[in-house]
Amino acid sequence: MAASSKGLEGVVASQTSLSFIDGQAGILGYRGYNIHDLAPNASFLESVFLLWNGRLPTRSELASFEEELALQRGLEAGTLEGLQRIPQDAVPMAALRTGVSLEGMFDRDGEDNSAEANLRKAKRLVARTPTIIAATQRIRQGLEPLDPDPSLSIAADFVRMANGEPGTDEAAAALDRTLLLYLDHGFNASTFACRVIAATLGDMHSAVTGGVGALKGSLHGGANAKAMETILEVGEVENVGPWLEAAFAQKRKIMGFGHRVYRTEDPRATHLREMSQQLTEQAGEGKLFEISRELEKQVMAQKGINPNVDFYCATVYYALGVPIDLYTPLFAMGRMGGWTAHIMEQHADNRLIRPRAEYVGEKDLTWVSIDDR
Ligand SMILES: CC(C)(COP(=O)(O)OP(=O)(O)OC[C@H]1O[C@@H](n2cnc3c(N)ncnc32)[C@H](O)[C@@H]1OP(=O)(O)O)[C@@H](O)C(=O)NCCC(=O)NCCS
């Protein structure tokens, strides 16, 4: 048997036609469209349509897709009741994990893995993930969750439901773009977790519940919140050097830096850096961008490591006034479109995912009865 690869590094586990990554050249494409073309031109839901259907929607197709999803934003009554009973200090990613699982409990297509049922569930999941996150945000403040307003875009309605009042068009557009950038990324850990569950013929809600669990970790989606904590802890541009010196001495990972696949700039970071500069400046938080730039410069100079998608997204969300522990749920809001696409792709041409383990333990030991140990 071939030797194992720790962390499955470099292993090509299966095929996908959803997103393409060239880690050497720094290229990311959804269904053949470069992220550099999609980010400034497409909306999040336009990209979800592209991912699910393999082609860009026409204007009228996009309008009806948006409308169909907007009308499905309302949560099941049982989900809302369940969220009300979650401890007020619950981590929002844990609440989201429970929320999507509860939605599965009440979904009329819950156990149906047909392509038609999967698409219906995917639409509900993408439409309702923002509602779950916003409801959690309200409930933990002791406030009543707000009903969705289908006349608003998915991003604008999230801002309204989470904050209790509408935000600016600019804030909704910026949030929408981060969702697009987070939408899909090959066999990342959470997507792979979804596919492993789907490949057992597990249902879509079970699979995305696993995906939320995998994304929660700080080496994956949790990194955007940790990156913000780092930037705030550093506090001043002149602290970057000593802060990094101490971190490297303690062999601490710098959150928001490094990537398993990219050996050059993460193309998503290119867009988020630009957004971060603009939005932090507008919010009177330009210093946070300067600290970020200095961290980037010095980590690159000392370790040759680039920032990843999560690093500049942190200050984008900070400038938009998002509470830090909602950064990873927002990542999930975007990635839900990708997870559901991968589950549909897996179910459409399934084979159980079941790798072997390289056994490195002892063998052929002599049994010792319990009285003689
Ligand atoms: C993303 C990540 C898990 C990829 O890890 P990986 O492919 O297993 O890479 P490794 O951890 O083996 O890193 C290779 C080398 O770069 C270093 N490195 C990688 N990321 C680093 C980081 N963020 N800070 C400091 N050093 C880092 C490692 O210490 C290692 O150095 P060594 O060879 O001297 O031991 C890793 O870069 C990381 O932990 N980043 C921080 C968390 C993060 O931002 N996650 C979001 C990813 S989108």
Are 95 and 110 in contact, with CB atoms under 8 Å apart?
Answer: no
Find the 253 Cα to ligand 1 centroid distance in Å: 6
Q: Report the chain's terminal Cα–Cα distance, integer Å.
A: 34
Q: What burial letters (b/e) apply to 184-223, b meaning 16+ CB within 10 Å?
A: bbbbbbbbbbbbbbbbeebbbbbbbbbbbbbbbeeebbbb
Are 326 and 243 in contact, with CB atoms under 8 Å apart?
Answer: no
Find the 256 Cα to ligand 1 centroid distance in Å: 9
Q: Using CA atoms, how far apart are residues 99 and 80, in angstroms rounded to an integer?
A: 8
Model confidence pLDDT, tens digit, residues 35-87 = 999 999 999 999 999 999 999 999 999 999 999 999 999 999 999 999 999 99
Q: What is the pLDDT of residue 319?
A: 97
| Closest ligand 1 atom to Cα of 188 | 48
Half-sphere exposure for 2 (CA within 13 Å, toward CB): 7
Are 214 and 342 in contact, with CB atoms under 8 Å apart?
Answer: no
Largest Cα span, the chain: 77
| Closest ligand 1 atom to Cα of 309 | 48
Instruction: Look at residues 77, 69, 173 and name the one whose alpha carbon lies nearest to residue 128.
Output: 69
Task: Choose between 16 and 5: higher pLDDT.
Answer: 16
Find the 333 Cα to ligand 1 centroid distance in Å: 25
Q: How far lies 187's CA from each of 15, 92, 342, 371, in Å?
A: 9, 24, 9, 49
| Closest ligand 1 atom to Cα of 258 | 37
Phi, psi for 168 (deg, rounded to 5): -80, 160
On the question of pLDDT at 234 being above 80, the answer is yes
**Atom 46 of ligand 1 has which residue's CA nearest to it?**
220
**Atom 8 of ligand 1 has which residue's CA nearest to it?**
260
**Atom 9 of ligand 1 has which residue's CA nearest to it?**
260
**Atom 19 of ligand 1 has which residue's CA nearest to it?**
258
At residue 3 the predicted structure's pLDDT band, cuts being 50, 70 and 90, is: confident
Amino acid at site 281: E
The DSSP output letter for 63 is H
Q: What is the pLDDT of residue 334?
A: 98
Would you state the structure tokens that stand for residue 354, as one six-digit string? 């079941």
Model confidence pLDDT, tens digit, residues 239-263 = 999 999 999 999 999 999 999 999 9
Kindly state the percentage of the chain with pLDDT values over 70: 100
The torsion defined by the Cα of 136, 141, 146 and 149, in degrees rounded to 10, comes to: -80
Find the 310 Cα to ligand 1 centroid distance in Å: 13
Which distant-in-sequence residues (6+ apart) come within 8 Å of 186 by Cβ?
16, 19, 20, 21, 261
Q: What is the pLDDT of residue 219?
A: 95
* DSSP code per residue over 108-169: TTTT--SHHHHHHHHHHHHHHHHHHHHHHHHHTTT-PPPPP-TTS-HHHHHHHHHHSS---H
Is 185 in a helix, a strand, or coil? strand
On the question of pLDDT at 1 being above 80, the answer is no
Are 322 and 168 in contact, with CB atoms under 8 Å apart?
Answer: no
Model confidence pLDDT, tens digit, residues 337-360 = 999 999 999 999 999 999 999 999
With residue 33 as reference, give the H or E element that holds it: strand 33-34
Find the 331 Cα to ligand 1 centroid distance in Å: 20
Q: List the domains of the chain with CATH numbers.
A: 38-214+333-348 (1.10.580.10), 223-319 (1.10.230.10)
Are 47 and 185 in contact, with CB atoms under 8 Å apart?
Answer: no
Decide: residue 23, CB within 10 A, 0-12 exposed, 13-18 middle, 19+ buried: middle
Residues with CB under 6 A from ligand 1: 7, 219-220, 223, 253-260, 303, 305, 308-310
Mean pLDDT, rounded, for 279-290: 98
**Atom 28 of ligand 1 has which residue's CA nearest to it?**
253
Phi, psi for 10 (deg, rounded to 5): 75, -5
| Closest ligand 1 atom to Cα of 248 | 25
Find the 110 Cα to ligand 1 centroid distance in Å: 38
Would you state the structure tokens that stand for residue 83, as one six-digit string? 């969220």
With residue 34 as reference, give the H or E element that holds it: strand 33-34
Is 20 in a helix, a strand, or coil? strand
Point out the residues that are catalytic. 220, 259, 310
| Closest ligand 1 atom to Cα of 257 | 23
Amino acid at site 43: S
Which pTM was predicted?
0.97
Query: What mean pLDDT value characterizes the chain?
Result: 97
Beta pairing class for 19-22 and 33-34: unpaired
**Atom 35 of ligand 1 has which residue's CA nearest to it?**
251
Ligand 1 pocket test, candidate residues 215, 259, 261, 327, most atoms within 8 A of CB: 259
Is 256 in a helix, a strand, or coil? coil
Is 347 in a helix, a strand, or coil? helix
Strand partners, 22: 27
